[in-house]
Structure formats: C-alpha cells, structure tokens
Structure 1
Amino acid sequence: MARLSGYLSRRGGLHPEEASALRQATSRLFNGQNKAETCRWVNAQGYRTTLGNEWTPEVLVRVLSHPRMAGLDDEGNPVEDFGPTVLTPDEYFRLQALFVEQKSQQPQAREAFDYLLTHGGAECGKCKYDMVGTRVSGDADPSYRCPPPRAGQASCGRVRMNADRLEDTVAEAVLAELMRPGAQEHLARLLADMRAEAKRLEEHIAGAVRRFEELRGMRDALVPAAYAAAEKATKDDLRESRNRLRFLEQMIDLPIDGVASLVEWWNSAPRASQRALVRLEIAKVRVLAAGRGKLRDPRERVLIDWRRPPA
C-alpha cells in the first residue's frame, strides 16, 4: 500500500518537501483559491503524488481529508507518539468543514447524455477527425465537437454543434430516406436476413457449453500454449457472437409498414436501437463549420454518406 503523501511512511515521519507543498495548498484553499487552481499551482512547482502522478482536485481532497494529516486516528483522536504532522488538528477540521461547504454549493450533477453519433458516427468536416460528445460547461447543453489538437492527434478543434440540432437533423434524414421508393423493401430483406442470423447466433451461443467441454477434454493432448490459444479463441468467439446478437436484437422488431409506425418506433425506441438503425443506413455524418453564422439551418451543416443498397 502506498505511503501517505507528506510522510516518509504510514507510521509517520515528515517528508519535508511534500509536507510544505500540502501546507501551502491548504493555505491557498483557505484564501479562496479553488481546488483546480490549487492543483495547477502544486503541479507547476514540480510536486507529484506518491505514485508520481500530477495532482487532481479529487486526489488533493482525498489526501487532505486523511486524519493522519493531523496525526489523528479514524475517530478523530490523536495518535500516540505520532510525531510532527502536516497540519494541525485545527487546520484539519477547518479544512474538512470547507470541503463540506463547497460540496453543498456544487450544482447537482447532470445526468449523462447518451450520444447518438459518437464512436465514429460523426466526423469533423474540416479535418475529418471523429467528433466527440461534450459540454462546454457543467450547465451547458450536450454538443458534439472536434477535439482540440495535441501531440499525435491531427484534429483541428474548430467545429462544434449542439447535440439536439445535429441528432434531430440526422434522425429526420434517416426516416425520410426509409420512406423513399424501394427503401422499405430493401430494409425488409435486411431485417429478414438479420432475423435468420440472430437465430443462428442463438444456437451457436447455446452450444458454447459443449464446445468448452470438448476443449477441456483435449487439454491433456495439447501443449499448454496451444490449449491457451484455443481457449482464448473460443472465448473471443463467444463474446463477439453475443455482441453481434445484441446488435441484431435492437433491430429485428423495427416496423416497416409506414411513416407513422416508424416515427412512433423512433420516438420510443431505446438509444441503442436508434443508434443501430442510423449505423445501418449511414456510413458517416460530416459536420461543417458554422461559417461565422452564415449556415444557420443545421441541415446546411450536415453532409451524410449513405450506405446505398447494391444496384
């Protein structure tokens, strides 16, 4: 178990440099500096955690909330013969009260947003880098953005679009595409193929127990490396089959008997099912820059590469 920052060991003994850094960080917190700013200062001075990592607000609070910072036990009582401490008991209790107060002032955490087009579904129209889901601030609406450039990452960071504008535009386009002549017949054939594939996968997954038993029966006849490779391949096959079946199950109940039923399905479908339909119809969504506000209609900023049925 790693030692506590500020001490030479878990039994005490001050680490002078680390203790000084933690005391200065505490003073900054008492003087109104927030935890993120305090961590930036600590890191800029070259101080690191006992694991050699940069300080983060979460780690700083966890370390400074440890009762050993003031030579106390878990009940808040002084540890006998502990020796010099990073903080005095008064400083420690004042700091805990400050953390409690700050936590009560934080806005309630917002529910995580389930993005429709992340993980390769949408790309930046300028640099073709995959867009990511993000919020500009804690209380901002979800949005898509091209991530800022950094070493080894050729993104431009210049394109952003609110999630509702992008996703509503794509959903309307997908539903309209499914209404064009011949599209529903093509989708019906795809769904029939998917149902047949799902049935085969269910049978294949059900037979996994037998395959593993047969493999274990061959264990003595195989060298250890060959057995390990065969076991891994069998597990990988089972995992991939289950993942593929989950994808198919999200699609095989899709209604194709008209616009109203399709729209009703979309409005109540789980996000995974909506995502599966979009990926079935669309190869890539490209998001253009706003052009200094010239492209106000979100449809002008969205280019869609469709998965056209073979001629």
Structure 2
Amino acid sequence: MCGGRRCESLIGVSCVGRLSGYVRAGVAHPEEAPLLREAVALLFEGRSEADATRWLASRGMLTPRGNEFRREVLHRLLTNPRLAGLDESGEPIESWVERVLEPDVFHRLQKLFADRSEKRGRPREAHDYLVTGGCALCEECTEPMVGSRAHADAPPSYKCDGCGKTRINADKLEGFVAEHVLAELLKPEARERLERLECDIEAEIGRLKAHIEGAEERFASLGDLYGRGLMVRAAFVAAQKASKEDLRTSKLRLKYLEQMTDLPVGDVHDLMAWWRTAPHASKRGLVLLEIEHVWVGRVEGSQAPERRVRLDWRQPAE
C-alpha cells in the first residue's frame, strides 16, 4: 500500500514514488531491472526507442503508476543517472548496493542518444526530383506522383498524391526513365523529332502567354456585364471563379512548359557524357520534352521499374 492507494507493478504492490527498475533506492527490482537491461541491449543493436518501448509492453512491464510505457517516458528513465546508481554530478551514490545499469553502460547509452540526436538534427540532403509536376502518374488512380520519403532516414521516393498506395524508389524510377530517353535520342530520326517537339512547345507557350496577358481584360468584361445588369450575381460569381481557376491553371502549365525549352542537346554528340554533367534543369527539360507521362503501377513484391513503369512518349503535332 502507498498513501492508501494500491499501485500495481509487474509483480504486485509497489510505491508510486519509486524509480522503475528499483524496489527502493539502491535495491534493483528482480523482474523490472533485467527487462530494462534487455531494452537497452535492443538500442545498442540499432533498434529505436519506439521498438524498445513496444518490447517492454509485450513483456507486460508497467510504470510505477501502473501505466504502459511511452517512448518519451522510457527515454526520460534511461537518461536518469540514478538508473546507474549515480547522482546528478555523475558520482556513484555510496549507499546504493545494486544498480540497474553499470555506469559504463549508462555512459555508452547517453553517447548513443547524443549521436542519434545529432543525426536527426542534420538536414537531409535535398533531392531534385526529375518527373514530378504531373509527369509521373499513378496507374492505380491516375493522380500525380510527388516526391516523398517513407521516413526520415529513407531514400527519396515517389508516392501517389491521391490514393497513397503507389510508391517507388526515386533513383530506380529516374534511372529507368533516363536510360529510355537517351536510347530514344540515339535513333537516327531523333534530333529532327526533338526539334519539332520544341517548336510545338514554343507555339503553345506563345498561346498561353497571350491568354494570360488577356486575363485582366476578361475580368474587366465580366465586371462590365454584371455592372450593366446583363448578368445575375450567381452567374457573375461562377464566371469569375472559373476565370481565376483558368488563369491559375494556365500559369502552372506555362511554368511546366518553359522547363522544356532552350535545350543544348542538339549540339551535343556524346549524349551519355552530357547527361552525366548536365544541370538538373536541362535533364528535366529533356525528359519532359520527350515524355508526356510516366505511369507507375503497383506490383506486389517488386520494385523493378521494368515491371511497373510505362512511358507515354510525346508526339509532334501533324
């Protein structure tokens, strides 16, 4: 009993004020202490604190208050020097005859925590995705694939922005796409075809710019019709909303198309060498010019792009 309240632990009655792993100060708990040592061993093996917390829960270990351990509670416990029989200054507590962790193990554990914290604090290396922006699409739901990482330490990948079910490693997908684009450019008629595609894109860019420049005049015309009573308010609001959406879509399309122009590959003889040293913007422009869509399918148990990826090649206007 403790203060008139019953406090359940792994083996029965205990005091709420005690430290996990100890029956009382300086006396190790016969069942909790070995479990905590095993949890620490898991951390040294590379497991996460969340893994260690789940492992303790699977063994039925509770906090002195009778609650399941949470990751932050376990971390706070494992950074408490009393777990190793040390005071706040790191000196051994003379009256303690037993300890859950040996001091050298405790110090190794604190270094492990510090190393992991420093690693988490480092900014992840940015990845310039090659086929985002609507080029790569999910074959499952036809929504765009976006740049993503499965977790903080995971490599860059593409994930469906719609259903979320389709994911593929970025390096594998981009390597597959680049290989096919360069192979296509080695064909005899490829340069002529590329020039025709560039002409088509430049023509569409010209039309979009003119359309965007005329937006102000279109908005003014709508306002004039509404002001003269030739358009009811509901129709005016709907037309204005549609015009704003059209302008937004046109600007996004223009930005997308402008990535495909001014490519130097027409004068490059060794395309493989050019690809290895070319700026990312030039590589992306070339890929977007050649390929309209990269369709990524879901194949259970396989990450091989050959089984998952289908390319829609852009065709010049007749």
Question: What's the offset of the Cα at 1:35?
Answer: 8.3
Would the alpha carbon gap of residues 103 and 248 (structure 1) be closer, same or farther in structure 2, given more than 3 Å must change?
A: same
Would the alpha carbon gap of residues 210 and 223 (structure 1) be closer, same or farther in structure 2, given more than 3 Å must change?
A: same
Residue by residue, what CA displacement relative to the aligned partner does 1:24-65 show, whole Å, maximum 9, x if unpaired? Answer: 9xx99xx99968999xxxxxxxxxxxxxxxxxx9xx9xxxxx
Would the alpha carbon gap of residues 265 and 207 (structure 1) be closer, same or farther in structure 2, given more than 3 Å must change?
A: farther
> Which one is further off, 136-145 or 259-268?
259-268
Would the alpha carbon gap of residues 266 and 206 (structure 1) be closer, same or farther in structure 2, given more than 3 Å must change?
A: farther
| Mapped partners of 1:230, 1:299: distance in 2 | 44
Matched, 1:216 2:216: no
> In the alignment, what sits opposite 1:9?
none
Aligned equivalent of 1:110, options 124, 128, 133: 124
Would the alpha carbon gap of residues 290 and 268 (structure 1) be closer, same or farther in structure 2, given more than 3 Å must change?
A: farther
Would the alpha carbon gap of residues 232 and 286 (structure 1) be closer, same or farther in structure 2, given more than 3 Å must change?
A: closer
Residue by residue, what CA displacement relative to the aligned partner does 1:157-176 show, whole Å, maximum 9, x if unpaired? Answer: 7x85x432431232122122
| Mapped partners of 1:305, 1:246: distance in 2 | 22
Would the alpha carbon gap of residues 183 and 105 (structure 1) be closer, same or farther in structure 2, given more than 3 Å must change?
A: closer
| Mapped partners of 1:129, 1:243: distance in 2 | 19
> In the alignment, what sits opposite 2:211?
204
The structure number with the bigger radius of gyration is 2
Task: Report the TM-score, using the length of structure 1 for normalisation.
Answer: 0.50
Task: Report the TM-score, using the length of structure 2 for normalisation.
Answer: 0.50
* Cα contact 2:299–2:308 (8 A) shared by 1: no
> In the alignment, what sits opposite 1:72?
none
> In the alignment, what sits opposite 1:121?
136
| Mapped partners of 1:248, 1:145: distance in 2 | 23
> In the alignment, what sits opposite 1:169?
176
Residue by residue, what CA displacement relative to the aligned partner does 1:80-131 show, whole Å, maximum 9, x if unpaired? Answer: xxxxxxxxxxxxxxxxxxxxx896674313144333245662658xx79987
> In the alignment, what sits opposite 2:234?
225
Unaligned runs of 5+ in 2: 1-15, 21-35, 41-47, 54-70, 73-113
Q: State the one-letter code of the partner of 1:284.
A: V
Matched, 1:284 2:294: yes
| Equivalenced residues, count | 216
* Cα contact 1:287–1:302 (8 A) shared by 2: yes
Q: State the one-letter code of the partner of 2:175.
A: D
| Mapped partners of 2:151, 2:307: distance in 1 | 23
Question: What's the offset of the Cα at 1:135?
Answer: 3.8
Question: What's the offset of the Cα at 1:258?
Answer: 4.1
> In the alignment, what sits opposite 1:142?
156
Question: What's the offset of the Cα at 1:231?
Answer: 0.8
**Map of 1:1-311 to 2, 5 A cutoff?**
106-117=120-131, 121=136, 133-135=147-149, 137-144=151-158, 155=165, 162-220=169-227, 221=229, 222-260=231-269, 264=274, 267-271=277-281, 274-275=283-284, 277-282=286-291, 283-286=293-296, 303-307=309-313, 309=315
* Cα contact 1:117–1:275 (8 A) shared by 2: yes
Question: What's the offset of the Cα at 1:260?
Answer: 4.0
| Mapped partners of 1:166, 1:202: distance in 2 | 33
Unaligned runs of 5+ in 1: 1-23, 39-56, 61-100
Q: State the one-letter code of the partner of 1:211.
A: R
* Cα contact 1:194–1:252 (8 A) shared by 2: yes
Q: State the one-letter code of the partner of 2:128.
A: D
* Cα contact 1:205–1:242 (8 A) shared by 2: yes
Partner SS, residue 109 of structure 1: coil
